[in-house]
Every structure is written in C-alpha cells, then in structure tokens.
Amino acid sequence: MTMKKVTYRQAINEALFEEMERDPKVVLFGEDVGTYGGVFKVTDGLKKKFGNERVFDTPIAEAALMGAATGAAVAGLRPVVEIMFMDWIGIAMDQLVNQTSMIPYIWEGIKVPLVLRTQGGSGSKGSCQHTKSLEAWIYHVPGIVVAMPSTPYDAKGLLKSAIRNDNPVAFIEHKMLYPTEGEIPEGEYTVPLGRASVKREGKDVTVVALSKMVVESLKAAKELEDEGISVEVVDPVTIKPLDMDTIAESVKKTNRVVVVNEAFRTGAVASDLTAQIQERCFDDLDGPILRVTAPDVQVPYSPALEQFWLPGKDKIKQAVLECMKR
C-alpha cells in the first residue's frame, strides 16, 4: 500500500470529504465550520465542495445544534455536528443525554446515526473554559459510542466508520494533535470502532493511554527504554465500547498497568478503566494499577502554573517507575 504523510487535521478533513462524497445523506454543520472552514480549519473546503445545504454555519446555539442533529438523524440524514470546544458541551448535554441517547432505546426501531465531533485538551494557554477534557460525561451515558483517536491514521479511518455507523458516536479530537503528522494509506481504508491498538510493544509495564496522552506515553516509553524498562503502550482508540481483550492480553504479559488520561482525576475515564482492568485481570496483576491524570483543579491560565496541571511524559515516567517498585 502506498502511504502518505498527513496531519491529524488533514486526516479528519479527508474522512469528511470522502464520506460526504460517498453518501449524500451526510451533512455537516456547526459554528464557523462552513465559509471559514472551522476555527481549527478541520472542515476547510467542504462547504465549497458540497454547498450550503449540506455544509453550513449555524447560530451560536449548542443545545439547538445537538437537538437538530438528533432530529435530522431520526428523519433520515447522517449529520456530523461540531461542538467547537468540549468545554461548552454542557450546553448541548441535555439534548445528548435525554434525547440522542434515549431515543434508540425507547423508540424501538428508530436509529440515531450521527457523529458529534468536538475537541478537548489543554496546552494552548486557554485557561478554564477552553481546555477541559470532559469525555467522562459523555462516556457515562448509555447508548453513545465514544472515540478518542491519537494518530492521523486512526482519526481518518475511525471517523469514516463513525459516519457509517448507525449509532450516535462522540468523536473527540485533541486541539494539540491537529498539527501532528503521521502516515496514512493513499487509498480508501477504515478503522473499526471498538478496537484497541497497541502503539508500542513492551514486556514490563502496560500503559493504557487516551488521545494525546498516547503521544506522551510513547515519549516516556522511549526514555524508559534507556533505563532498561520495556513499556507497552495500548491505545483503546474507542473508549466505549472498550476493547478489553487487547488490554487484558497485554496485562497478561506485563502484569503491571498505568492508566493515563488528561482529565480531572475524580470520575475520569481513567478511574473506570482501572476498575474494568482489575475486574478482568486481577489474577495477572503484580501490583496496584496506577493512574496519571490531571489534579482536581480548574485549568489555570498562568504559564507558570500549567506544569502543575498538565499530565505528560515526566509524570508518566514517574508512574511507571513507581509501578515497577510495587
């Protein structure tokens, strides 16, 4: 297969192009996604190509966006709706929790094939309202598939699968990943939902990491290799439903686990993954599962304070070393 190098941003853009071309029922809307092509330029060129009925800018009204995407999905479209920053998912949340996710369960025979695209993550000096990772809120609600790709390859292939899937899928991007590069095939491919990916093989410790924390974990793994510690990095890619088999297989080999999630510690997805892993793998574990997360503190602006909030390579290394001692 011939490969090419693209950014995470381009990968998502390509997936949208290809799926809109393939299926006229796919529509794309959100704030500034049309004429401008999105504040992160992820939807660049789509309005020009597919026109104002299928790709359009909306009023600033996240509740209406989420609800309208839901209704449009019920009535025969396959909407991709963008909530620009995950920090204001709260405004859309009632629709998501009490309409989108409820409908397929109660209205038997009705499907809600939509993709909610949003992005979270810190590192941009965005302060409290532009940096949060609130995937745990969505993850908590039954009936929503939650995907958090970390590479251009996964992002493109997974988004294509998400658009083709008949369930509501929350597709959560990371703002600091947009410019990162990776290889993808020249031609058509998809990545299945619900399948984890081993990003690096190792034998001493399994690091289960989400989104940008996969990148940080790989950096940590590289440095730890020099210290003689072999780290396996597993990226769940889709966090719900979770590919527990791949994680369990890794744990069987390493017997030690660190879970990494850039989110407030209490009630983070990391907490739930930890619970799931110990339920399934208790007999394989040589010590407690450790978590690397952000603390239960709002994300401060001051560049001088950021280090205290951000989880990353160094904190992951520390946790792996700690894990080896236990």
Q: Which span (3-11, 30-38, 173-181, 249-257) binds other proteins, by CB under 8 A?
A: 30-38
Query: Which of 39, 198, 248, 310 lies at the binding interface for other proteins (CB under 8 A)?
Result: 39
Query: Which of 29, 40, 50, 88 lies at the binding interface for ligand TPP (CB under 6 A)?
Result: 88
Q: Is 186 helix (H, G, I), strand (E, B) or coil?
A: coil
Q: Which span (14-22, 35-43, 185-193, 200-208) binds other proteins, by CB under 8 A?
A: 35-43
- Give the contacts of 245 (CB within 8 A, at least 6 positions apart): none
Determine, following the binding rule CB under 6 A, whether residue 31 of this chain makes contact with ligand TPP.
Answer: yes
- How does 26-39 read in b/e, with b if 16+ C-beta sit within 10 Å? bbbbbbbbbeebbb
Set 130, 132, 240, 315: catalytic member: 130
Q: Give first-to-last CA distance, the chain, whole Å.
A: 44
Provide, rounded to whole angstroms, the least separation between the CB of residue 303 and other proteins: 6
- Among 38, 308, 42, residue whose Cα is nearest residue 156: 42
Q: Which residue is nearest to ligand TPP (CB)?
A: 88
Helix 212-226 crosses helix 313-325 at what angle (to 10 degrees)? 60
Binding partner of 124, given ligand TPP, other proteins, none, CB within 5-8 angstroms per partner class: other proteins
Residue listed under structure tokens 């503190």: 297
Total site size for other proteins, rule CB under 8 A: 34
The C-alpha atoms of residue 94 and residue 271 are separated, in whole angstroms, by 24
Token pair listed for 245: 């088999």
| Annotation says 140 is catalytic | no
Whether 209 and 235 have beta carbons less than 8 Å apart is answered as yes
Determine, following the binding rule CB under 8 A, whether residue 110 of this chain makes contact with other proteins.
Answer: no
HSE-up of 28 (CA within 13 Å, CB side)? 32
Between residues 39 and 198, which has the closer beta carbon with respect to ligand TPP? 39
Whether 265 and 218 have beta carbons less than 8 Å apart is answered as no
Provide, rounded to whole angstroms, the least separation between the CB of residue 85 and ligand TPP: 7
Query: Which of 7, 300, 318, 322 lies at the binding interface for other proteins (CB under 8 A)?
Result: 300
**Interaction site with other proteins (CB under 8 A):** 31-32, 35-36, 39, 57-64, 87-88, 91, 124-130, 296-298, 300-305, 308-309
Which residues of this chain interact with ligand TPP, rule CB under 6 A? 31, 60, 62, 84, 88, 91
Q: Which residues are catalytic?
A: 130
